[in-house]
Amino acid sequence: MSHSPGRTKVALITLDGQSLPDAVVQELAQAGVDLSVSECTNRADLAAHAADADVVWLFGGSRVLHDGNLAALDRCWAILRTGSGTDNVPVDEATARGILVANTPAAFSDGVSDHVIGLLFTVVRRLAALDRSMRAGRWEQATAVPLNSVEGRTLGLVGFGHVGQLLVRKLRGFEMRVLAHDPYARPGTLASHGVEPADLGRVFSESDFVSLHCPLTPETHHLVGEAQLRLMKPSAILINTARGPVVNEPALIRALQEGRLAAAGLDVFESEPPAADNPLLKMDNVVVTPHGAGYSVNGVELRWRHSIAALAALAARRWPPSCVNRQVRPRVELSL
- Residue 1: its pLDDT value, please? 46
pTM of the model: 0.90
Among the four given CATH numbers 3.30.300.30, 3.40.50.720, 3.40.50.2300, 3.30.9.10, the one describing domain 109-288: 3.40.50.720
Say whether 313 sits in a helix, a strand or coil.
helix
- What is the CATH code of the structural domain delimited by 8-107+297-315? 3.40.50.720
Residues annotated as part of the active site: 243, 272, 291
CB 50 within 8 A of CB 34: no
Looking at per-residue pLDDT, the higher value among 84 and 147 belongs to: 147
Dump pLDDT digits (tens) for 224-262. 999 999 999 999 999 999 999 999 999 999 999 999 999
In sequence order, what are the beta bridge partners of 14?
58
Fold match, 8-107+297-315 / 109-288: yes
- Residue 47: its pLDDT value, please? 96
CB 226 within 8 A of CB 248: yes
- Kind plus residue range of the DSSP H or E element containing 84: none
CB 49 within 8 A of CB 2: no
- Residue 187: its pLDDT value, please? 83
In angstroms, what CA-CA distances link 49 with 10, 57, 60, 130, 258? 10, 12, 18, 53, 53
Max intra-chain CA distance, the chain: 72
Judged against a pLDDT cut of 70, whether residue 2 lies above it is answered with no
Question: Domain spans of the chain?
Answer: 8-107+297-315, 109-288
Distance CA 288, CA 291 (A): 9
Least confident range of 74-78, 139-143, 147-151, 208-212: 139-143
CB 230 within 8 A of CB 176: no
Dump pLDDT digits (tens) for 64-94. 999 999 999 999 999 999 988 899 999 999 9
Phi and psi (nearest 5°) for 251?
Answer: -65, -40
List the strands of the sheet with 100-103, edge to edge. Answer: 33-37, 8-14, 55-59, 78-82, 100-103
Q: Please choose, from the candidates 57, 65, 53, the residue with its C-alpha nearest in 3D space to the C-alpha of residue 91.
A: 65
